[in-house]
Amino acid sequence: MADEAALKALFLKGLAGDEAATRAFLTDAAALLRAFFRARLRGRTEDAEDLVQETLVALHTRRESYDPNYPLTAWLYAIARYRLIDFLRRAKHRNHAPLDGVDVGEPDPDYEASDAKRDVATLLDKLPEKQRTAIRMVKLEEKSVKETAEATGLSESDIKISIHRGLKTLMRLMGQEQPT
């Protein structure tokens, strides 16, 4: 697993607009987050994976909030802890028997739970149309910003802004959604 220095190098490259570095950073971050959330939500691997995805979007949409004078992992875990507290607060408002203290055994280490409970793709439908189209075309259908702009008749900067806003909205929706 990546250490602080390697992770920070990847992240800073990503900040400068490097796609491969961004992907590598998010992949490493996902592994760290998965361990972090699973250790704190014993056995609830799907909830943990929901939180991993939610936190990845948070890390990405708020990436400019990192201060390079401090460790990157401190930033990453501060956001992870915040998402966890927010999740637990949300869970408290839901009415069902708490699982706290119930020992359901160790999570299966081989179980690759990248299947989260909620489906981010379906959340996309709740976005305003412009944001939804921009994210769908650029992020999912692998079209370039330019192609998307031509296809929709919007300007390129409009597309970029729509993607950025859309991702932030998406993270908020992930937080508001009430997983059962």
Partner 1 sequence: MKTDDLINALSRGVEPAERPRWRMNLAITLVAGLIVAGALVAIGLGVRPDIGTARMPIMMKSMFAALAAAVILPIAVQLMKPGRPLGWRIGAVVLFVGVCAVATITALMGEMPEQRWQAWMGGEGRAPWCVVLIPILAVPAAALLTWFMRAFAPTRITLTGAAIGALSGGVSAMAYAMYCPTDSVAFVTTWYTLAIAVCAALGALVGSRFLRW
CA–CA gap between residue 120 and residue 122 (Å, rounded): 5
Report if residue 71 touches partner 1, rule: CB under 8 A: yes
Report if residue 79 touches partner 1, rule: CB under 8 A: yes
**Residue 75, Cα to own-chain centre: how many angstroms?**
15
Q: What DSSP designation does 140 have? A: I
From residue 88 to residue 127, what is the string marking binding to partner 1 with x (rule CB under 8 A)? --------------------------xxx--xxx------
Number of residues near partner 1 (by CB under 8 A): 55
**CA end-to-end distance (rounded Å), the chain:** 33
Contact 7, 72 (CB under 8 A): yes
Segment interacting with partner 1 (CB under 8 A) among 1-9, 36-44, 54-62, 103-111: 54-62
Report if residue 150 touches partner 1, rule: CB under 8 A: no
Segment interacting with partner 1 (CB under 8 A) among 38-46, 93-101, 125-133, 136-144: 136-144
**Residue 140, Cα to own-chain centre: how many angstroms?**
15
Q: How far is the CB of 13 from partner 1 (least distance, A)?
A: 10
Q: How far is the CB of 140 from partner 1 (least distance, A)?
A: 6
Report if residue 4 touches partner 1, rule: CB under 8 A: no
Report if residue 134 touches partner 1, rule: CB under 8 A: no
Q: Which is nearer to partner 1, 102 or 166 (CB)?
A: 166
- Select from 142, 160, 165, 169 the least CA-distant residue to 17: 160
With left for phi above 0 and alpha for psi between -120 and 50, is residue 80 left, alpha or beta? alpha
Report if residue 65 touches partner 1, rule: CB under 8 A: yes
With left for phi above 0 and alpha for psi between -120 and 50, is residue 69 left, alpha or beta? alpha
Helix (H, G, I), strand (E, B) or coil at 133: helix
Among 6, 9, 99, 145, binds partner 1 (CB under 8 A): 145
Who's near 2: CB < 8 A, 6+ residues apart?
10, 28
- Which residues sit at the interface with partner 1, rule CB under 8 A? 14-20, 22-23, 26-27, 30, 49, 52-53, 56-58, 60, 62-67, 70-71, 73-79, 81-82, 86, 114-116, 119-121, 135, 138-140, 142, 144-145, 160, 167, 171-172, 175
